[in-house]
Amino acid sequence: MACHINFSSSAFTPFLFTNNTNHHPFSEFKFNSPTSNTSSSSSSLSSSSSSSSSRSCTRRWFNSVRRRNSDNSSEILRHWIEAPNQSHASPERFTVASYNILADRNAKQHSDLYLNVPSRYISWDRRKTLISNELFGWDPDILCLQEVDKYVELSDILVKAGYTGTYKRRTGDTADGCAMFWKADKFRLLEEEGIQFKDFGLCDNVAQLLVFEMCESESRRVIVGNIHVLYNPNRGEVKLGQIRFLLSRAGALSEKWGSAPIVLAGDFNITPQSGIYKFLSSSELNILLYERKELSGQKSCRPAQVLGEKKETVRPFILLDGLLKCWTDEEVKVATGDSERHLAAHSLKLNSSYATLNGSASTRGFSGEPLATSYHSKFLGTVDYLWYSEGIVPTRVLDTVPIDDLVRTGGLPCKRVGSDHLALVSEFSFSVTNNESTEMVAAAAASPRIYIEDWQSGIIREENN
Ligand code: KL2
């Protein structure tokens, strides 16, 4: 499955981050105090033009045993990318962030994923401060967090900053869960639904669905979902079952609240090349065209494989008959909802914010999605998304980090990023109908009110148009 990153392609022309004027027309968010020798490092990367020398550079940067220079990750720049045409966007806007913050317990339990990360970057106290500061810098109105195992500590920080929050812990022998926070002066909570997939035979994962109304305009409602899908790459049927269930509950809430638009944020544990991504974006999927264990695309994203250090293993051609045998009736039922039906379908029209708004060639893959939203010693790729339904449009997104800058860190968390994922942030506005659009144009045309002061009498009058 194509998750392969070719360093000789133009998509990976490295940026030199010493001169910010390179980055027009993007507005940008810049982390503090870049002090590194990045310009010389970048030069050595950019000087490699043939694929073989690119590969040797890649090897130099991705080496799990090499100790990193602590300044390697100083230059982590993120740019806001604006939608080019905003004529169908209402003035009411809101921002949503999705961030898998790496649970403290998971960081300790899966230490093999962070062997080349200095222990100070793994410390929860340090990561907590970094994560909070990252979030405050982007100032999202709604936060959708995954892998939260210190909810009270985060809540203490975020409530002081004006947010209200709610938490849904995973079931089973796990300590983390999903948390959502929203600005209390911007949104009123109308309804909340916590989903524990265990109740439906779909493992110990959880999701949240919240219905909001904007304080400034009560007619503007939005349903926001937050999910952390099962990690296990072999259980494609459970992943699809969880996502199908979330979509159907979100659709039901939307109907209940006057066809309110939907945002679905989270760590979906699927890649943009996967069958399940196709299910989300095209609303249906014939599961028999995929092997159950390949439905998420995760297995093609080991860093050495993605960076071209190892040849991809060529799988033998499997006849459809062979594929059919991969799915038991029970697995088909979990995946599609009916053991007799091989077509999984949903009724929402979903698009992904990042795929909608073109990013820089250094951050995006063929699908338009980020090249990577997560990086550690066993994974380099994209699993986090911000999906939206009809009724809203993304007006800007916070682009992810150029892939060679990310690779240069050697793995996350790093000096500037508090988790092994990057946060995704998108601003949305409500789509305006043609009627509303005409009214907005008319209002704008009528709006210039000109006042003239009589210099002799001092009387101010409004000039008639
Ligand atoms: O991929 V994740 O990381 O969304 O960032 O979600 C899970 C994985 C998270 C919660 O279960 O823990 C990580 N190998 C690598 N990562 C794992 C494994 C594993 N065997 N098990 C859990 N996680």
Q: State the average pLDDT over residues 74-93.
A: 90
Among protein residues, the one whose CA lies closest to atom 21 of ligand 1: 231
Instruction: Kindly give the distance from the C-alpha atom of residue 209 to the centroid of ligand 1, in angstroms, as a whole number.
Output: 23
Q: Is 271 in the pocket of ligand 1 (CB under 6 A)?
A: no
Q: Is 298 in the pocket of ligand 1 (CB under 6 A)?
A: no
Summary mean pLDDT of the chain: 82
Instruction: Give the position, in ligand 1's atom list, of the atom nearest the Cα of 298.
Output: 1
pLDDT at residue number 27: 28
Instruction: Give the position, in ligand 1's atom list, of the atom nearest the Cα of 383.
Output: 4
Q: Is 73 in the pocket of ligand 1 (CB under 6 A)?
A: no
pLDDT surpassing 60 at residue 336: yes
pLDDT digits (tens, 9 = 90+) for 158-213: 999 999 999 999 999 999 999 999 999 999 999 999 999 999 999 999 999 999 99
Residues 6 or more apart in contact with residue 462 via CB below 8 angstroms: 449, 450, 451, 452
Among protein residues, the one whose CA lies closest to atom 2 of ligand 1: 231
Q: Is 104 in the pocket of ligand 1 (CB under 6 A)?
A: no
Instruction: Kindly give the distance from the C-alpha atom of residue 298 to the centroid of ligand 1, in angstroms, as a whole number.
Output: 11
Q: State the average pLDDT over residues 357-373.
A: 96
Residue 320 confidence class, pLDDT cut points 50, 70, 90: low
What's the pTM value of the predicted model, to 2 decimals? 0.81
Instruction: Give the position, in ligand 1's atom list, of the atom nearest the Cα of 102.
Output: 5
Residue 88 confidence class, pLDDT cut points 50, 70, 90: confident
Domains and CATH numbers, the chain: 2-464 (3.60.10.10)
Residue 309 confidence class, pLDDT cut points 50, 70, 90: confident
Q: Is 269 in the pocket of ligand 1 (CB under 6 A)?
A: yes
Higher pLDDT, 47 or 87: 87
Look up tokens 């002066």; give the residue.
185
Instruction: Kindly give the distance from the C-alpha atom of residue 269 to the centroid of ligand 1, in angstroms, as a whole number.
Output: 9
pLDDT at residue number 295: 96
Instruction: Kindly give the distance from the C-alpha atom of residue 376 to the centroid of ligand 1, in angstroms, as a whole number.
Output: 11
pLDDT surpassing 80 at residue 291: yes
Calculate what percentage of the chain has a pLDDT beyond 70.
74
pLDDT surpassing 90 at residue 335: yes
Q: State the average pLDDT over residues 63-73.
A: 43
Q: Is 267 in the pocket of ligand 1 (CB under 6 A)?
A: yes
Strands (E), 25-88: 27-30, 77-82
Residue 326: other Cβ atoms inside 10 A: 16
Asked if residue 253 lies in contact with residue 191, where contact means CB atoms within 8 angstroms, the answer is: yes
Q: Is 273 in the pocket of ligand 1 (CB under 6 A)?
A: no
Q: State the average pLDDT over residues 19-34.
A: 27
- Please state which of the ranges 12-26, 204-218, 271-285 shows the lowest mean pLDDT: 12-26
Residues 6 or more apart in contact with residue 311 via CB below 8 angstroms: none
- Please state which of the ranges 6-15, 168-177, 254-263, 300-309 shows the lowest mean pLDDT: 6-15
pLDDT at residue number 195: 98
